Amino acid sequence: MLSINMLIQYDNNPERVERIVYIDENRQFCFLINIYDNSFPISNDLHEVENSIIGGEAEILEKDPWTVIVFEKDISEKARQVQEKAWAVVSKLLKVGQKELLNPIERNSVIHRVSNEMGITKKTVVKYLKRYWKRGMYPFALLPDFYKRGGKGQEKQSSEKKRGRPRKVQEVVGSGVNIDEEMKKVFRLTANKYYQTKKNVSVRFAYEQMIKEFFREELEKAPEQLPTYYQFLYWIRKEQNLSHEIIRRTGKRNFDLNFRPVLGSSKNEVRSPGEKIQIDATVADVYLVSEFNREWIIGRPVLYFCKCVWSSMIVGFHIGLEGPNFEQARMALMNMVEDKVEYCKQFDIDINEKEWPAAFLPNSIVADRAELLSNASNLLTEKLNIRIENSGSWRGDLKSLIERQFGLFTNEVVKPMLPGAVDVDFGKRGTRDHRLSGKLTLTDFKKIIIRYILYFNNQYVMENFIRDEEMITEEVEPIPIKLWEWGMKNRAGRLRKISKDLMMLHMLPVGSATVSEAGIRFRNMLYSSELALKEQWFVKARFQNSWKVDIVYDPRNAGQIYIQNPDSKSYEVCHLLEHQYRYKNKTMDDINFLHESEKLQKRKHKQDQLKAKIDLKEEVEKIVKDAEKKSKSSGVKESSNKRIKDIKNHRKLEQELIRKKQNEIAKTESNDTGGSQSKVIPMSGPADNENYLLLKRMQKKGMEKRER
């Protein structure tokens, strides 16, 4: 299914590549722009585009030629200033709406206004807008082509700009006097002074106080000049913000607790699938064990879910051992844009795209304050153009979808089925320690989560889901996948695609690796790549010094790390060396646990080794002392010169004695095998001593003869 930001190539012509910049909600037409020429987007029938792809006249391009892979620290200050200036201009244009910008008449008007406001030419405004459309529709698309020139800049600071336009009301309301600006000021003063207070007075009381204070003379002389009560009431209801009034009258906490819409009302804020997602995290009620050693208990995992507000479909998840925090939450966001067919293959689960059709960027994200907002503003808002909404501690309604999901998963899967699950009696005296029952690894638990998501998305009937009239007429079942499919056909146009390389740059954590003669070393793991072998990195590192390279890595799988390619448009994949395959398909959490365990073992072994080494020294010293004692007590004393001359003969004599002993031992073993009674032959005895002395006397006589 086509979505916004997709690239389509026609007739296998590399110069005719068009990007979808807009799809109407009814999926009848779309706007496309050629990413190589200087034209504006043109309208086309969406079904014709789809038929062109089906008929083979066009194809969807997965590789975006305009993708820019560049680390923040590598952007020059000049390039940063150009990008920020261009984004300020484009931001003003986008405030009127994408649909309006595609209308030539409205677009020209907006361009003229923005050029005057920003003090730049219309030609420059048009250049920025076209560049934004052609290069991917995100802020980094506005980086100039010389972005890598010059020195390294500082981290870009987030800016805050007011959004939207001031509200307007009708100038004459009701049958009384004209409601001009002066009258509005009086209404506003009255509302602030009397109505929007915690005294909870009625609108009628506020109206009467207004007449008494501001219109006493008109009341006496010209009552027809008085604003009527219904005019004041109408203005209160239409002009004033109802939520603001309730907060002023009852307090913020009371409003959040009692006057928010009912649970699930956040669905009313969106009109199409994928437009807004909610993310939340919880500590799962189950204890896991290590991938490396199932005897190692690694504790309870943190489970992250991303869920489409409109359809309730789960669009992404992550399981880690840290958090809740943004570093882990963005792994769930990374999963949200991944191809789920390929992702599930990693866990030997085969699905088709229709079973989990979620690989997109939303327009906005609702998240818990402590979980995602602390570090996400610069990343999501400025780089990916995703609006962040804070649910707040008193806004449980905005997270209700996820919270109910956690409860459903725990009650239907975790507690009744999983070993190591935490039950209500956990910690009570006499009950079994649930931690000792853990049998599942992180990978096992991920497989269970995937199976659960597939079940929920495709089979779970949401009994409390309120269908609108169109859904009822078309008999749409309240199942997430059914709602998603229906919404894509009838209310689509909000999904955005993003290249995998670009998502990796913004979502995956950045690290530093060392190129050495042994490989590319990262966290005590060694990698290699085609580029490294081709350019002989490891040979250079051996004969020269090692050097650092910036990498990005996926904490969910240590099997690969990624290095920026020289063309800055893609990543070079680095794979683990063969002898490092114990880390293959392992998470960074598991590897960190392994490394810490090995450090602990090494510290323990050092103590044991020290004790054993001291014992060894004591035994050696004991043997040496015993040998020295025996040497002193031997009866035969010879000169040093003679002892040195006899080394060769003594060696031969010793060899003869050893062979004789070995032959006797072999003969004894042979007799034992034949069933004869075993005969123990001592390693040294009287016979051996006699033989030794005899050989010594014979040797001495022979040497005396040679001397004569």
Secondary element (H or E) of residue 609: helix 588-633
**Residue 76's pLDDT is what?**
83
The predicted pLDDT at position 430 comes to: 53
Residue 8 banded pLDDT, cuts 50, 70, 90: very high
pLDDT band at 154 (very low <50, low <70, confident <90, very high): very low
Please state whether the peptide bond connecting residue 324 to the residue before it is cis, i.e. omega within 30 degrees of 0: yes
In this structure, the number of other CB atoms found within 10 A of the CB of residue 615 comes to 10
Using a pLDDT cut of 90, give the percent of the chain over it.
24
Q: Which of 173, 267, 287 is nearest to 487 (CA)?
A: 267
Quick one: tokens of 625? 């002392």
Question: In this structure, what are the phi and psi dihedrals at residue 233, rounded to the nearest 5 degrees?
Answer: -65, -45
Token pair in block for residue 526 = 């060694």
Q: Could you give the dihedral angle defined by the CA atoms of residues 526, 531, 532 and 536, in that order, rounded to the nearest 10 degrees?
A: 160
Cα torsion through 487, 489, 492, 497, rounded to 10? 110
pLDDT band at 629 (very low <50, low <70, confident <90, very high): confident
Tell me what pLDDT residue 423 has. Answer: 63
pLDDT of residue 256 exceeding 60: no
Dihedral (CA of 502, 508, 510, 513) sign: negative
What's the distance, CA 515 to chain centroid? 26
Rounded Cα gap, residues 21 and 3, in angstroms: 9
Contact (Cβ atoms closer than 8 angstroms) between residue 442 and residue 286: no
Which residue type is seen at 226?
Answer: L
pLDDT for residue 18: 94
pLDDT at residue 111 greater than cutoff 90: yes
* Alpha carbon distance 101, 108 (integer Å): 8
Residue 491, classed as helix, strand or coil, is coil
Residue 264 has a pLDDT of 41
> 399 pLDDT exceeds 60?
no
Tokens coding 159: 């800016």
The pLDDT of residue 127 is above 70? yes
Rounded Cα distance, 48 and 42, in Å: 14
pLDDT value at position 372? 55
| The pLDDT of residue 340 | 93
* Residues composing the chain: 708
pLDDT over 80 at 392, yes or no: no
Residue 192: predicted pLDDT: 82
Q: How many CB atoms lie within 10 A of CB 568?
A: 14
pLDDT at 321: 86
Q: Coil, helix or strand for 346?
A: coil
pLDDT of 502 > 90? The answer is no
pLDDT tens digit sequence for 169-200:
333 333 457 777 788 888 888 888 888 776 66
Domain ranges of the chain: 7-61, 72-142, 181-259, 266-500, 508-586, 642-662+685-708
> Measured between alpha carbons, how far is 428 from 416 in angstroms, rounded to an integer?
19
Average pLDDT in the 595-620 region? Answer: 85
Mean pLDDT of the chain: 79
Beta bridge partners of 572: 563
Are 437 and 453 spatial neighbours (Cβ–Cβ below 8 Å)?
no
Checking if the pLDDT of 462 tops 60, the result is yes
Q: Tell me: the pLDDT tens digits for 27-72? A: 888 999 999 888 999 999 998 999 999 888 999 988 888 887 777 7
Question: What superfamily would CATH give domain 266-500?
Answer: Ribonuclease H-like superfamily/Ribonuclease H (3.30.420.10)
Q: Is the pLDDT at 235 greater than 60, yes or no? A: yes
Q: Is the pTM of this model over 0.85?
A: no
Residue range 190-215: mean pLDDT, rounded:
81
Sorting pLDDT into bands at 50, 70 and 90, what band is 112?
very high
